[in-house]
Amino acid sequence: MKEVTTRDQIVAVADQMFYQQGYENTSFADIANAIGISRGNFYYHFKTKDDILEAVIDRRLQDRKDMVAQWDADEESPEIRICKFIDILIVNGEKIKKFGCPIGTLSSELAKLNHPNQDGANALFGLFQAWLRCQFVALGREDDADYLAAHLLARSQGVAMLANAFQDDEFIRREVEQMHGWVAAQAALPGRGATGNC
Amino acid sequence: MKEVTTRDQIVAVADQMFYQQGYENTSFADIANAIGISRGNFYYHFKTKDDILEAVIDRRLQDRKDMVAQWDADEESPEIRICKFIDILIVNGEKIKKFGCPIGTLSSELAKLNHPNQDGANALFGLFQAWLRCQFVALGREDDADYLAAHLLARSQGVAMLANAFQDDEFIRREVEQMHGWVAAQAALPGRGATGNC
DNA sequence: GTCTATATAAGGATAGAC
DNA sequence: GTCTATCCTTATATAGAC
């Protein structure tokens, strides 16, 4: 039976608010009010705002690691696993329309702030890039697995960006369909067949 | 002979700083110092920070309108014109690696701030969407011109996002090459032939 | 049109009582 | 571990002299 500590609450609420309002635009007061603790209490758990960001990034990393691990465990083929990744755009469609991709928008914001934790945020991209890479290798595309992974990452980022700007469900649906087709085409190319783990 | 007014300077510097540092993260003091005027002087030209943002968006809109008008005037075929759009990723590659796409990052930031001028920022996307749409119509793809335009917009946004996160020139180059190929493939599809203006 | 104050508010951070 | 009170800095914005 797992106890919910104040620290956990802070990180969970900060995670959500950094996503919905942006890191800089979220104040200690915002987070404190949402939980129902005082601002002062904050500094018992975290020395600085940057420390909270670090904890939020760690949390997101763990979340995403768990997610892809689940896909690895549940889904039979790399093709289906890659499609699971693509389907995030549908599954999280409402949030993405409102706030964009949590990874992309954080990375972008920290880049503009020239924030010391930019690398941490980009590690989130790195996690998906590496995982997708594995799937393409398993699909028999070891020669250009890196590029294919980055390509798919970029496409989904682009769709998230336009979903946020245009609020267009039909566009999202159509792009997801297109990407599914693209994955199938990659799988059908010569060189296929490797199925080993990564 | 065109006089450079203080107002023009403010808008020009704000445009650059909003791009490089973000809108919220840029203060009046930042802009004032860069130009060499006092903070107080600011309010003679603009009542609020939001007013400056509006002027910056107008400026960007005019810039981009001029740019596509130049392409319309200079380039012979819609295919080449579309490639001009794609090539922004190369031409502005260094800036994009450092700060992302000026349109996408602004749209994304304003969405998180729930800023009243979100529509203005998205009008920048709209401008390119409409222009690209025209090019695809001219390419004979009137049936899905809207989608093709959004698709290409999304792809270039995705590349800009990853360029900013990963700083990878080779990836940008490869994606641009891919998109060029894609445009050529669209042009070669049946239904081609219309060349009228939009 | 530009400047020098100055008002006012908000945010990050600290000290110390409980 | 949580609270209140307070400090310090920065930011938007205003008033009024030049």
CA of A45 to C1' of D3 (A): 14
Whole-number average pLDDT of chain B: 95
Pick the residue of A112, A133, A164 with the most B CBs within 10 A to test the interface with B by mutation. A112
Residues 135-164 of B with CB under 8 A from A: 147, 150-151, 153-159, 161-162, 164
**CB–CB contact A122 B168 (8 Å):** no
**pLDDT for residue B98:** 98
User: With DSSP H G I counted as helix, E B as strand and the rest as coil, what are the percentages for chain B, rounded to 5?
Assistant: 80, 0, 20
User: Which residue's entry shows tokens 């922004």?
Assistant: B88
**pLDDT for residue A22:** 98
Q: Is B127 on the interface with A (CB under 8 A)?
A: no
Q: Domain limits of chain A? A: 60-188
**CB–CB contact B112 A25 (8 Å):** yes
B-chain residues within 8 Å CB-CB of A154? 155, 158-159, 161-162, 171, 175
pLDDT classification of B188: cutoffs 50, 70, 90: confident
Say how far residue A155 (Cα) sits from the centre of its chain: 14
Q: How many CB atoms lie within 10 A of CB B135?
A: 29
Q: pTM for this structure?
A: 0.96
**Please, are residues B100 and B164 in contact by the beta-carbon 8 Å criterion?**
yes
| B47-56: average pLDDT | 97
List, for residues A124-166, the tens digit of each pLDDT value: 999 999 999 999 999 999 999 999 999 999 999 999 999 999 9
Amino acid identity of B63? Answer: D
Is the CB of residue A33 inside 7 Å of nucleic acid strand C? no
Is the CB of residue B40 inside 7 Å of nucleic acid strand D? yes
The CATH architecture of the domain made up of A60-188 is Orthogonal Bundle (1.10)
List, for residues A75-84, the tens digit of each pLDDT value: 999 999 999 9
Cα end-to-end span (Å), chain A? 34
Nearest to A100 among B25, B111, B168 (CB): B111
Is the CB of residue B37 inside 7 Å of nucleic acid strand C? yes
Quick one: closest CA in A to B19, which residue? Answer: A112
Phi-psi region of A27 (alpha: psi -120 to 50; beta: other; left: phi over 0): beta
The 10 Å CB-count burial string (b at 16+, else e) for A140-151 is bbeebbbbbbbb
